[in-house]
Amino acid sequence: MARVLVTGSDGQLGMCLREIQSQYPDISFHFTNKNKLDITKKRELNSFFSSNKINWCINCAAYTNVDKAEEEPDSASLINKKGAEILAEVTNTQNVTLIHVSTDFVFDGKQKNPYTENDRTNPINIYGKTKLDGEKSIVKLNQNHFIIRTSWLYSKYKSNFLKTMLKLATEKNKINVVSDQFGSPTNAIDLAHVILKLILVDSKSYGIYHFSNEGVVSWFEFAKTIFKEKQIDIEVNPIKTENYITLAKRPLYSVLDKTKIKETFNLSIPFWKDSLKETISKL
């Protein structure tokens, strides 16, 4: 039986892993959060792994507030870079396979076609830079790793674009949404299933992979579809990035090429609208 540690399990992905764990009886789960297990503390990690005989670790612990990271670069770096580095070092020593969740924000968004795992990284904000630094540490320190970059993650849990739009709809009758940033939404439940299937087959196909739902959309179109599915009558107006000022720059195009993960693990990935509809039906 696979014995799996999930760090940062209070976040979206961690909560989705909790939700579906009963579907995976051949996996024994240990869910922790920062209060139970701090990935920036090496001694704490070593003690945990030694006591619990873990053989897989899914690292969901991350500093994910993109704008706040611009004001708190040290805090973002501590978790996204240093935490990943320490976790990679400890899991390597303890012979644990590390699955680390990363982001489309490692790219600058200047490309016109989907980014492959081999395309040049060039983050344009602190969040993306710290996540890329974390990736580099993992590659260097634990060869038994899977780094899964994902994009536009949403679920029924925590804070995300889907829940923000639904909240705004209760407060306003008209909103503006950026229409010139393009990507692929990712249902966190779909990502959770992929990660657990990877563990079930005891894969040794280590490396960096991209995962999101299929299809390309703008934030504006994403919002329109959310309201249509929920049958909410609200005026949604498209605006340009230059007219929506944020602390952190966002890539204009961050679509991920999923060919590698589909071919390696024989995956069929749902279209983003279908996964969105399923999530909304459960809200």
pLDDT tens readout for residues 92-133: 999 999 999 999 999 999 999 999 999 999 999 999 999 999
Burial class (CB in 10 A: 0-12, 13-18, 19+), 103: buried
The pLDDT of residue 24 is 98
> What is the pLDDT at residue 283?
87
Domains parsed from the chain with CATH numbers: 2-159+185-214+254-270 (3.40.50.720)
Predicted TM-score of the model (pTM): 0.97
Active site residue ranges? 127
